[in-house]
Structure 1
Amino acid sequence: MIEDLQQAESRTASVVELARELIRRPSRGGIDDYGPVLGVLEDWLAARCLPHRRLHDDAGELVGLLVEIPGGRPGSWWTLDACVDTAPYGDESAWSFPPASGEVADGWLLGRGAADSKLAAAMFCHIAADLAEHVVDLAGGLAVLLDVDEHTGGFGGARAYLTDEHAARPAGVMIGYPGVDEVVVGGRGLWRATITVHAPAGHSGSSKNVVGAISRAARLVTLLDAAELPSGAGACGFPLPPKLSVTSFHGGQGFSVTPDRCELNVDIRTTPSFDSHDAETLVRKAVAELDAELPVPTATKITPIAVWPPFRLSENEQPAAALLNAAKQAGLTVRPKTAGPSNIGNLLAGKGIPATAGFGVPYEGLHGIDERAHLAELPTVYAAYKRAVLELLKG
């Protein structure tokens, strides 16, 4: 492992330089043009003769870049995945450095995307270059997916990759979200819906007692907040309980009209013992109670928006086993973690593809102000990922 760390240390400066160039190309999800940031990667890959191609969605929009390194022997393909689009900057005046800085100060790489996940993208490209020099010894192949439709929630790069008839289906995926103390091996799923609450419109000054859509919707929120969900660990030792949140509430305009329509968004995080069917059943029960308690001519409408299953790998399942073992051999004390928020691992789980969804350098300010990634641990993280990939590709 000492040799692995020495090789990783020799790559660190190049990894950081590539990451700096990526950070300097703004690529906020749904805001910026992704051509410049992918162009940096394409130039780097082309200079090293690494096979790569752009990915497009069904509408022809650019959603990612795919690097493919085939091995010299038959076997399974494994994937390293990192997004190179980012969260928005937020209040730029609150930052203590420019969001597209790309500078290194006091051992930190600065700027939006430093943590999530341009440093990981640079690292994975370098690992692909390392492996390309020894393909004859590898079984199967390595793909590096560089997604530019992740922070939109669309995961267009991953979807295009999984439906690409020319790409080998991966046996598993390792996603380069940051955090050095944990390997994320699972996450709660989700069930999301928009609920449209109706009522007859009326004048707010009317002598009649009008129960408007906003009042009915507020009652529904009360019913949802009072709904009982399982608590504690659930089936198969899943360590987190389900959770319900009302995340949006919109209706009405001005002052003189009680509106006839109000919409609210409901987000339920699911588990193996409380799945999407249970989530929908709970919401429909609350809606039925509302419509019975405060009846109106038009029934409340539920429009499901998204469903992702929960997932959790055991420590012995790949690719979790390879990454956990490699991190420990690199001298890190890591633990497997099941995350509360959902992530791209849930999308992959829905396709039957096992994934880890986080292991990388320490970080601060992810999705907030002053995002930065700590570089001292980079050689160790690099060595761990490379060792895990080699373990998976040995056949």
Structure 2
Amino acid sequence: MPADPVAITRELLRCPSVTPAEGGALSYLETTLKAAGFTVHRKVFSEPGTDDVENFYARIGTEAPHLTFAGHTDVVPTGDEKAWKHPPFGGDIDNGELYGRGAVDMKGGIGCAVAAVLDHLAAHGGRPQKGSISFLITGDEESIAVNGTPKLLQWVDGMGEKFDHCILGEPSNQEEMGDTIKIGRRGSLNGHLIVTGKQGHVAYPQRADNPVRGIVKLIDALLSEPLDAGNANFQPSNMEFVSVDVGNKTVNLIPGEARAMFNIRFNDCHTLESLKALLQQRAEKAAGGKIKFEFKFQPSNAGVFVTKPGPFTELVANAVKETTGRAPALSTTGGTSDARFITHYCPVVEFGLVGQTMHAIDERVPIADLRALTTIYRKIVDRYFG
């Protein structure tokens, strides 16, 4: 009898694993995969000033090629539970849809991957057709992503294990199943531009130096010229200033400092360091030695990555098209994901459910989508090892 992705997902949804709590989700996966012959490791990672996070690694097989399914069982908070049509941790089915926090992001994707792998193993005597299959699951993706996937990857690498390819089951599709495969993500850089002037009375501007004039000039210079023109895989990088503040509540006071906060979503024309250098260069040119300024950048682990189209992306795309009838777009849009860590160990693509209700009240997934995704994953696994 085929494994049921709906039943597996329902069990996961009934685990209140609000980040970084494990909530029973990893324990359920451990029981399920151990029964199928997987070797399972539960690893807790910590760092001063952060929450301890429990992570999960399970593998069956010892040879190459090694295909891993990655994901996270932690979920965002539910918000007002009374506003939900069905309890957020109930796993209720209503009118062909499965409700629960994490149904889309991304317990549904994990449930489908587990079902597809169990079916593949059952069809081949309880072992992979050849090679190895693993699950790399974190409880830290919806939080600060410090004690989850990056440390779990380091631990696996320290054990001498290598991945050949990875499928991350994030909700990649935009409108309907099969419309999008994520082959990369833009990087993200947050920071402040700080201009220092001299405080004074507005009636005596000659005795002061208004930093507002300087910060306006620098913002204009930083935004007036594109950071790049984009390329075949990425749209142009984009800088957005999201606040400008002088901390001034008095109309007759020239402030001594002005701050502007910004975010840049950048493509692979830049690294974090080259992008910082470019901003410094452009600001210095605009300042002309007359404006005192500095950048303060927030620590970032959100670098850019792309998995170039090739045999692996083609394999995934063909499985999607055969199942859904749609030729998926290969996209690099959207925010960040744990794929930014995985890319340092092996090529990775993201393909999961439709992201319409992720993080929303009444998060839910059509039963038909769970079954379609399981079929897609099964085709990928069979052909990868076939």
Quote the residue 1:184 is aligned against: 181
- Counterpart of 1:34, as a letter, is E
Quote the residue 2:373 is aligned against: 381
Q: Following TM superposition, by how much is the alpha carbon of 1:53 offset from its aligned partner in structure 2, in angstroms?
A: 1.5
Q: Following TM superposition, by how much is the alpha carbon of 1:174 offset from its aligned partner in structure 2, in angstroms?
A: 0.3
Quote the residue 2:291 is aligned against: 295
Q: 1:28 aligns with which of 1, 13, 18?
A: 18
Paired residues in the alignment total 371
1:313 has 2:302 as partner: no
| Inter-partner Cα distance in structure 2 for 1:317 and 1:211 | 60
Quote the residue 1:393 is aligned against: 385
| SS of aligned partner of 2:143 | coil
Quote the residue 2:321 is aligned against: 328
Quote the residue 1:124 is aligned against: 113
Q: 1:50 aligns with which of 33, 38, 44?
A: 38
| SS of aligned partner of 1:377 | helix
Q: Following TM superposition, by how much is the alpha carbon of 1:324 offset from its aligned partner in structure 2, in angstroms?
A: 1.7
| Inter-partner Cα distance in structure 1 for 2:160 and 2:115 | 21
| Inter-partner Cα distance in structure 2 for 1:367 and 1:259 | 40
> Is the alpha carbon distance of 1:295 and 1:63 closer, same or farther for their aligned partners in structure 2, counting shifts above 3 Å?
same
Kindly report the root-mean-square deviation, in angstroms, between the aligned alpha carbons of the 2 structures. Answer: 3.3
Unpaired runs of 5+ in structure 1?
Answer: 1-6
Quote the residue 1:340 is aligned against: 333
Give yes or no for contact 2:112–2:373 (8 Å, CA) kept in 1.
Answer: no
Per-residue CA distance 1:252-298 (angstroms, 9 max, x = gap): 275587665555443322234455455334321343245437524xx
| SS of aligned partner of 2:67 | strand
1:282 has 2:259 as partner: no
| Inter-partner Cα distance in structure 1 for 2:26 and 2:249 | 46
Per-residue CA distance 1:46-87 (angstroms, 9 max, x = gap): 45553211133353932421111115xx32211111211123
Give yes or no for contact 2:115–2:374 (8 Å, CA) kept in 1.
Answer: no
Quote the residue 2:101 is aligned against: 112
Per-residue CA distance 1:157-196 (angstroms, 9 max, x = gap): 3212321122622111101122322342423431414235
Give the 5 Å matches for 1:38-117. 38-46=26-34, 48=36, 50-57=38-45, 59=47, 61-70=52-61, 74-90=63-79, 95-117=84-106
| Inter-partner Cα distance in structure 1 for 2:314 and 2:23 | 36
Per-residue CA distance 1:67-126 (angstroms, 9 max, x = gap): 11115xx32211111211123435656544443342111111112211010111122233
User: Percent identical across equivalent pairs?
Assistant: 18
| Inter-partner Cα distance in structure 1 for 2:263 and 2:333 | 13
- Counterpart of 2:18, as a letter, is R
Q: 1:242 aligns with which of 230, 237, 242?
A: 237
Quote the residue 1:227 is aligned against: 225
Unpaired runs of 5+ in structure 2?
Answer: none
- Counterpart of 1:223, as a letter, is A
- Counterpart of 2:65, as a letter, is S
| Inter-partner Cα distance in structure 2 for 1:258 and 1:101 | 57
- Counterpart of 1:177, as a letter, is E
Q: 1:16 aligns with which of 6, 23, 28?
A: 6
Give the 5 Å matches for 1:150-169. 150-154=141-145, 156-164=147-155, 165-166=158-159, 168-169=161-162
Q: TM-score, normalised by structure 1?
A: 0.80
> Is the alpha carbon distance of 1:363 and 1:230 closer, same or farther for their aligned partners in structure 2, counting shifts above 3 Å?
closer
Give yes or no for contact 1:242–1:268 (8 Å, CA) kept in 2.
Answer: yes
| Inter-partner Cα distance in structure 2 for 1:212 and 1:111 | 53
| Inter-partner Cα distance in structure 2 for 1:204 and 1:91 | 49
